[in-house]
Amino acid sequence: MNSGWTHTTVLLDEAVAALLDGAPPSGGAPMGRTFVDGTFGRGGHSRLILSRLGPQDRLLAFDKDAAAITSAATITDPRFSIRHQDFEHLAELGTNAASGILLDLGISSPQIDDATRGFSFRFEGPLDMRMDTTRGQSVAQWLETAPASLIAEVIRDYGEERFAGPIAKAIVARRQEQGPISTTTELAQLVADTVKTREPGQNPATRTFQAFRIFVNAELEALQHALKACLDVLQPMGVLVVISFHSLEDRIVKQFIAAHSREQYDRRAPFAAPQVMRLEALGRTKPSAAEVAANPRARSAIMRVARRTAAP
């Protein structure tokens, strides 16, 4: 692994402040408070959280990337532990288990910049894109047999790409004529040859790469499962902090918080008592101009914060 790879954690201070300052106090409980970093990455959030925890508090992290687990092994703080799992396993922690949960979505700079992972069209590498390379299909393996209709659906739904149909047909035609696509540069060139117009400053393959990464890792499904689990795992008055980097993620988070921040009525039982609100929306934050100037990858980030209500 290239030790020169670095990752600048987006909204670092803002996220940790929202998580810890908004969480309920321990009240002198001997076991302290438990916080969850659902996406350890390279540990930017976790390390700052640990620097601010009390001696009886603890931090549990999740990550399905083996490289992140290796990075986490350098933390010797006894208050810290990590699970080699996706954050969709949050429900396993049990009811009222956490005072605060942080989810920093997307991929980290080291993952993008490591050519062997296949996340970026900027580097020649195998077309993999799996967050956990120990399981599941790579993008290349999936594209070997996927029909054009499914490829187009993935590119359209997860990449919001208006040229999804032509790109999918070009991928299948290339497969039939020359064999499957196996590298990042092959895919990027095929998309560039197919998409003749694109927003200024954006590579034509950007949306297609995003779509395939989200699909092969089931990212949106995992996010939905994790958010649902947070309703039970968070203690009353516990805090949920979510940082997203594209509209598909943010839409899910925004709608989830909105749906649970109001009383819900069952139209099939109009006289039944409404389901009580379970979250209180505490607002959203975007990176400052200074942070975006220093780290352009922060420009699309949105942080949303909510608090679990005291209601059952």
What domains can you pick out in the chain, each with its CATH number?
12-109+219-308 (3.40.50.150), 133-216 (1.10.150.170)
Query: Is residue 69 predicted with pLDDT exceeding 70?
Result: yes
Is residue 60 within 8 A of residue 82, CB to CB? The reply is yes
- Rounded mean pLDDT, 33-47: 95
Higher pLDDT, 295 or 26: 295
Per-residue burial over 267-300, b = 16 or more CB atoms within 10 Å of its CB, e = otherwise: eeeeeeeeeeebbbbbeebebeeebbeebebbeb
- Residue among 139, 301, 270 nearest 214 (CA): 139
Q: What is the pLDDT of residue 1?
A: 37
pLDDT band per the 50, 70, 90 thresholds, residue 3: very low
- Rounded mean pLDDT, 98-114: 89
Query: Is residue 258 predicted with pLDDT exceeding 90?
Result: yes
Is residue 54 within 8 A of residue 26, CB to CB? The reply is yes
* CA pair distance 100, 34, nearest whole angstrom: 7
Query: Is residue 199 predicted with pLDDT exceeding 80?
Result: no
Describe the strand order of the beta sheet including 80-83 as a list of residue ranges. Answer: 80-83, 58-62, 34-37, 98-104, 234-244, 302-308, 279-285
- Helix or strand or coil: residue 202? coil
**pTM (whole model) above 0.75:** yes
User: Which CA distances in Å does 203 have to 26, 109, 159, 210, 254?
Assistant: 49, 18, 13, 12, 28
Pairing type for strands 302-308 and 234-244 reads antiparallel
Is residue 308 within 8 A of residue 23, CB to CB? The reply is no
